[in-house]
Each structure stands twice: as structure tokens, then as C-alpha cells.
Amino acid sequence: MLNLIKNEWMKIFKRPGTYVMMAILIAVTIIVGIFFKYQDNNNKAAVDKNWEQTLQQENDALKKQMDQSQTKIEKKFYQKEIAINDYRIKHHINPHEKYNVWSFVKDASELIILAGLFTIIVSAGIVASEFNWGTIKLLLIRPINRTKILTSKYLTVLMFALFMLGILFVFSMALGAVLFGMPENALPYLNYNNGQVTEQNIVVHLLIYYGLNSIKMMMLVTMAFMISSVFRNSSLAIGLSLFLLFTGDQFTALLSLKFAWAKYILFANTDLMQYFEGTPMVEGMTLTFSILMLLLYFVVFQFFAFFVFKKRDVAA
Amino acid sequence: MEKIVELRDVTKVIKGRTIIDNISFQVNKGEVFGFLGPNGAGKTTTIRMIVGLMGITSGDITIAGASIKTQFEDAVRHVGAIVENPEMYKFLTGYQNLVHYARMTKGITKEKIAETVELVGLTDRINDKVKTYSLGMRQRLGLAQCLLHDPQVLILDEPTNGLDPAGIREIRDYVRLLAREKNMAVIVSSHLLSEMEMMCDRIGIIQNGKLIDVQLVQEFVQSTESTYELEVFPSDKALALIETTYPNIRIGRSRNGISIEVSKEEIPQLVKILVNEDIQVFGIKEIAKTLEDRFLEVTKEKEAATHA
């Protein structure tokens, strides 16, 4: 299996396109960094000395709003804000931290979508290209069954996704450190869960944040992989997956306004962050439900990919 | 002779159409088996089933005793193949391509790769990208790819397609060498008859998905009666004479005189008759039937039989 993955890795990294992708990812991160740096310079003036008082005022206002608000969801949101503000006042944690490397890493995580885009391109091509090149014939007449070959291809895609995310994380960290400097003492991230506020190391928080943000990308990568294997057509796989990557959320949000079954749509479940920091897209959804849905989609995608690949008559 | 590949009642149905109809044959070690048939007869489909690229609707194929259906890995371990054109990864070098395939079979060393490269004569160019290779070089790289693991069965689908005469000859010599020296069984498919005649020990003719005939090449080409061409003058008189003497004989005009199908023993008698009648005999020569003639004969006979 290791040898098979080595082969796939070689086939990805001996093509110039892969380096173009890496270069684009790094270039865009630099552009974003410069943009934030420029903004940061403009905003330097406003540093609030009496932030504790300001927070207290904010809390009072929030409490009034909470009393007036009608929906449960809104109330929960206000509760959370107030709890976090209280915690800050009590433990002297300034909310207006100077923009530093960690703030930048968090902002740069928006670029995960770009890493996702590139991984989808690789994933869409990894099976379909072998058919296009005609090399599938020589690949499948080795003493290795097709399931193993396809598994090695999927694992390679996963590794490539990690590789892209790794580049983004490490590079944005390095760039952030250069442009914005390391904070003197890293302030923890404040987690709110069931009325409890807990501190979390900022790096751990960022890694979790990355992980949760990558779920949608991984599901679409898996879908692209399936389309690639079932239809042997990389353009279709890329096109459809990218279209859903960019529009899936909006469509699902629109549908969820009208229909309750929208919660069964993949994109209603890809953002697990909604259970930690926000409100679910459709009322009544839980973390367990979403994880089960994600698993279900994953299994269905993989089932089609493997079933078709194994049964296929290769006549390319 | 020890059989190594065996097809038993192999049938392939695609979308209700029978592409391959009940084919059975076997190939022995050290033998070059030619698979002959017009385009679209089912050669490539059969080869794809032998190497497991296509499923078998019914029947079975075994290689070295292992079924390609149920023991794919054990069966295909003994096979090296080029199916149609040897498509390689163009963005990799020749060497990287070979490393790629070597990794997929256990126990292929670097030395073995170098040895195989040497064998097919690609040593000078092996570190160049495949996209810079000529067709002949790709064909050789394809051959290297299927010889890496010392297979017992070599399958070449249209190996000489698009090669120049020198390249064709090289492949032919090579195939013969492998069969003789390494005791490999080689299955070659082609629609080029002259080539098969020179390369193969036995041939199987396939037409419309049916295996029409399997014979040794020599037997196939020679039949009991041969055709002789007689250069005689005047030919009209000779023709009439022979027709009256041998009413059941097949006779016709040819470019230089008349052609006639008789057994060898009859020739002296025939000459005597001609000389007695004052017909001048300038020459008699046997016309060897080529595989092509036989092939057309056989396929036509079958067609006529099915239409009748």
C-alpha cells in the first residue's frame, strides 16, 4: 500500500500544475497578509484604555435586549455574549487584543476554500486521468486488486488535502509572525458551552477551527473522487464539486427557510461550528445528527466510487 | 508441452449483444500463439478478458492454474501485457515509469530494471521524459514494462501497430527469442497476416466473436493440394487438353500461363501429356499459399456456410 501511495504521490508531484497550485495558495496568502497589514496600520490609533467599563456597558445593553427578545435562539446568543464578557472582566482579558500572528492565522483560514479547490482538482483527476491517458490498462493488470488501488488513490487525496492545509497553516503563521509579530503573552480563546466559559490554548483552538472548517472541503473532495471514478470524467467532477463548494451553503440556507427536509442536505451539516458558536441552520438539528449525516454521505460516496470501479469493464 | 493459459467456453455479452461466443483454446509454454482476425472480430476483447480488464459473462480463464475471475492476483502475477498502444505517463521519464510499475509487483530490484532497460535498448534515453519518445521507443518501453517481473505469459495486442519495418522485425525477433530462451508463452494479436506467419507457431482465427480454427502455422498454410503455375505455349490448347484429361481438376488462367491444383505426384504425368501434344513447356513452379490466401479462404468458407 505504501508503494502505491508513493506512486500516486509521484504522479501528482511530477506535474507542473501542482507547483502552480502551491504557488497560487502562497501568493494569495501574501496578498491577504499585506492587505491586513495595511488596514492594521490605519486602525492603530484606537486603543481603549477603559475596556472593562465599556464591556460592562455593553453587557447592560445586551441584558435589556435579551429581556425584549422573543426567540430562544436570540436569547441563547445574548446569554453567551454576556457570559464571555463577564469572564473577560473577571479575569482581565482584554477583548481588543492587538492584531497578531494568531489573528492572522484565523483570518487566513478563509483561504481553506482555495486549498479545497485545488484538492478537488487533484481528486477529480486522480482516477479520471488514468482513463484519459490510457494508463489505467497497465495499472490494473498488476497483481493488486482494484480495491487496493482505489484506496491508495483516496488516501493520496487525503494526504494532499492535509499537505495543502499544512502549507496554508504554516505559511500564514510564518507570514503573520513577520508582518504582525508574536503576542507577548498569547491570550487564550474563550469557549462557551452550556453556560460555562472555559479557556483554550489559541493554537489548539486554531487547529480545531481548521479541522472544522475543512469538513465541507473534504466532503466535496470525496464527492469529486466519486464522480471521477464513476463517470471517468474529471471536468464533470471538478465543475460540479466547485459549483457546490461555492454555492451549496447559500442554496441550502434558502431551502432551509421553507423546508424542514433541508436539514438532510449535505451542506446543512458540513458546518459543525454552528453547534459551538452559533445556531443550527434548521431548528432541531444536533451535533450527533450532523455527524451521522456526514458519515452517511461519506459512505454513500465511497460505496459508489468503489462499486463502480471494481465492476467496470476497462475498454478505454 | 505444458499448457499455461486456458480459456474454457468464454462468452462475453455486452448490452445483450454477444461479443465473444463460446471461445475455448489453450496456449502452451514456449509457444507463440497468434490471434488473428479482422478488425472488430473480438481479438482485443478476448485479450482484455485474459488480463482481467473486462469481466467474463460465462466460462473461465485460467493462467498457471489460477482463475482470473476468482484468483485475480495469483493469475495476473504471471502475465506481462501491452493492451493496444503502450500508454505511459508522458510527464514522467522512462525510468520513473518503470519504477512506478516495479513498485506494484513484489521483488523487482533496481538491477532488474536496469537489466530490462538494457535488454530493450533504451539505456541512452531512459532518463528522458516519455513525451519526447518516438512511437518505437514507447513500444520498447511498453515491452520493458511487461518484462520487469519475468512473466510466464506475455500478451501483446497489435504489437507492431505503427512501427516501421525495422521496428516490426525487431519485435518479431524479440518475441521469438523470449519464447525460445525463456520458455515464455506469447499471445500476439494482429490483423497483419504476413507478420503472424513469421512470428507464430500456432494461430487461432477469430471472426464475429467465434473461434473458427486453431492450427499450426505450417499446417495451416500448406494443404494437401498445392497450386502450380505452368508456363506453356499455346496456353489455350493446353487448357483445353488438361480439362478433357482431368475433368475434376481446378484450373484457371494466370498471369504467365495456367494455374492448376494437383498433387505433386501428378506432375510428371501431366508434363508427358503436354509434351506429347507438342505443347511447349517453359516452366513449372509451385505457388506456396500464403497465410493471407488461407485466411481469406477460411473466413469466406465460414461465411458461406453460415449464409447457406
**Bridge partner residues of A200 (DSSP):** A189
Q: Is A137 on the interface with B (CB under 8 A)?
A: yes
The chain B residue lying nearest A132, using CA atoms, is: B87
pLDDT at B227: 77
Q: Do A135 and B87 touch (CB under 8 A)?
A: yes
CA distances from A209 to A227, B6, B264 (A): 28, 59, 93
Average of per-residue pLDDT across A245-254: 86
Q: Do A135 and B145 touch (CB under 8 A)?
A: no
Q: Do B53 and A142 touch (CB under 8 A)?
A: no
| Averaged pLDDT score across all residues of chain B | 85
User: How far does B39 lie from chain A, in Å, by closest CA?
Assistant: 15
Q: A285-299, B127-141, B154-168: which has the minimum mean pLDDT? A: B154-168
CA dist B274 and B252 (Å) reads 16
pLDDT at A308: 92
Q: A3: which chain B residues are within 8 Å (Cβ-Cβ)?
A: 103-104
**Bridge partner residues of B214 (DSSP):** B204
Q: Using one digit for the tens of pLDDT, what is the confidence trace for A50-64? A: 777 777 777 788 777
Cα A60 vs. chain centroid, distance in angstroms? Answer: 35
The complex scores an ipTM of 0.80
Q: Using one digit for the tens of pLDDT, what is the confidence trace for A42-97? A: 665 555 667 777 777 777 887 777 777 777 667 777 777 777 777 777 777 776 66
The three cell numbers locating residue B193: 497476416
pLDDT at A279: 67
Find all residues with CB under 8 Å of A171, minimum gap 6, and list them.
Answer: A25, A26, A29
* Strand pairing category for B3-14 and B17-28: antiparallel
CA distances from A290 to A268, B123, B301 (A): 8, 57, 69
Of A6, A138, A311, the CB nearest to B103: A6
Q: Give the 3-state secondary structure of residue B11.
A: strand
Place of cell 530490462: B116
Q: B85: which chain A residues are within 8 Å (Cβ-Cβ)?
A: 134
Q: Is A311 on the interface with B (CB under 8 A)?
A: yes
| CA angle, A255 then A259 then A265, to 5° | 60
CA dist B222 and B291 (Å) reads 9
Of residues A194 and A9, more confidently modeled = A9
**Start-end of H helices in chain A:** 2-13, 16-43, 51-68, 72-91, 101-108, 112-133, 136-139, 146-180, 202-213, 215-231, 234-258, 266-269, 273-277, 287-311
Q: Do B53 and A313 touch (CB under 8 A)?
A: yes
Q: Using one digit for the tens of pLDDT, what is the confidence trace for A210-226? A: 888 888 889 999 999 99
Is the confidence at residue B135, as pLDDT, over 60? yes
**Start-end of H helices in chain B:** 43-50, 72-76, 94-102, 110-120, 135-147, 165-181, 193-199, 217-221, 235-245, 267-276, 291-307
Is the confidence at residue B293, as pLDDT, over 80? no
Q: Using one digit for the tens of pLDDT, what is the confidence trace for B168-206? A: 888 888 888 888 888 899 999 887 777 787 888 888 888
Q: Using one digit for the tens of pLDDT, what is the confidence trace for B217-245? A: 777 666 556 778 888 888 888 888 888 88
Whether the predicted model's global pTM rises above the 0.95 cut: no
Q: A229-243, A257-271, B5-19, B49-63: which has the minimum mean pLDDT? A: A257-271
Is the confidence at residue A25, as pLDDT, over 90? yes
Is the confidence at residue A123, as pLDDT, over 80? yes
Which amino acid is it at A88? R
Average of per-residue pLDDT across A200-208: 83
Average of per-residue pLDDT across A254-268: 85
Of A134, A138, A313, the CB nearest to B54: A313
Q: Do B89 and A133 touch (CB under 8 A)?
A: yes
pLDDT more than 90, % of chain B = 28
Find all residues with CB under 8 Å of B196, minimum gap 6, and list them.
Answer: B34, B36, B188, B190, B203, B217, B291
pLDDT more than 90, % of chain A = 36
Q: A134: which chain B residues are within 8 Å (Cβ-Cβ)?
A: 84-85, 87
The chain A residue lying nearest B146, using CA atoms, is: A138
Q: Is B161 on the interface with A (CB under 8 A)?
A: no
Average of per-residue pLDDT across B110-121: 90
Of B85, B87, B105, the CB nearest to A143: B105
| Averaged pLDDT score across all residues of chain A | 85
pLDDT at B101: 93
* Best CA proximity match to B2, nearest among B152, B120, B118, B139: B152
State the best of A133, A141, A145, A311 to mutate against chain B, taking most chain B CBs within 10 Å.
A141
The chain A residue lying nearest B142, using CA atoms, is: A138
Average of per-residue pLDDT across A229-258: 87
pLDDT at A21: 94
Radius of gyration of the CA atoms of chain A, in A: 23
Place of cell 505452368: B230
CA dist B37 and B210 (Å) reads 10
The chain B residue lying nearest A139, using CA atoms, is: B101
pLDDT at B221: 62
State the best of B51, B103, B161 to mutate against chain A, taking most chain A CBs within 10 Å.
B103
The three cell numbers locating residue A204: 489548539
Is residue A19 exposed (0-12), middle (13-18) or buried (19+ Cβ within 10 Å)? exposed
Of B55, B72, B91, the CB nearest to A15: B91
Which amino acid is it at A249? D
CA distances from B15 to A106, A312, B12, B89 (A): 55, 14, 10, 32
Q: Give the 3-state secondary structure of residue A98.
A: coil
State the best of B87, B105, B106, B161 to mutate against chain A, taking most chain A CBs within 10 Å.
B87
Average of per-residue pLDDT across B6-17: 90
Q: B92: which chain A residues are within 8 Å (Cβ-Cβ)?
A: 10-11, 14
DSSP string, B46-74: HHHHHTTSS--SEEEEEETTEETTT-HHH
Region of A145 (left: φ > 0; alpha: ψ -120 to 50; beta: rest) is beta
pLDDT more than 70, % of chain B = 93
Q: Do B103 and A145 touch (CB under 8 A)?
A: no
**What are the two backbone dihedrals, phi and then psi, of residue B225, each rounded to the nearest 5 degrees?**
-100, 135
Cβ proximity of B241 and B279 under 8 Å: yes
Is the confidence at residue B115, as pLDDT, over 60? yes
pLDDT at A114: 92
List the B66-67 sheet strands across, edge first.
B17-28, B3-14, B58-63, B66-67
Q: Using one digit for the tens of pLDDT, what is the confidence trace for A275-290? A: 776 667 777 788 888 8
Q: Do A141 and B55 touch (CB under 8 A)?
A: no
Q: Give the 3-state secondary structure of residue A24.
A: helix
State the best of B43, B56, B89 to mutate against chain A, taking most chain A CBs within 10 Å.
B89
Q: A168-177, A291-300, B243-252: which has the minimum mean pLDDT? A: B243-252
**What are the two backbone dihedrals, phi and then psi, of residue B36, each rounded to the nearest 5 degrees?**
-120, 140
Q: Do A14 and B92 touch (CB under 8 A)?
A: yes
Q: Is A308 on the interface with B (CB under 8 A)?
A: no
Is the confidence at residue B297, as pLDDT, over 90? no
CA dist A173 and A179 (Å) reads 10
CA dist A79 and A87 (Å) reads 12
Cα A183 vs. chain centroid, distance in angstroms? Answer: 25
The chain B residue lying nearest A1, using CA atoms, is: B104
User: How far does A135 lie from chain B, in Å, by closest CA?
Assistant: 5
Radius of gyration of the CA atoms of chain B, in A: 24
Of B54, B74, B145, the CB nearest to A315: B54
The chain B residue lying nearest A312, using CA atoms, is: B54
* Strand pairing category for B185-190 and B153-157: parallel
pLDDT at B185: 92
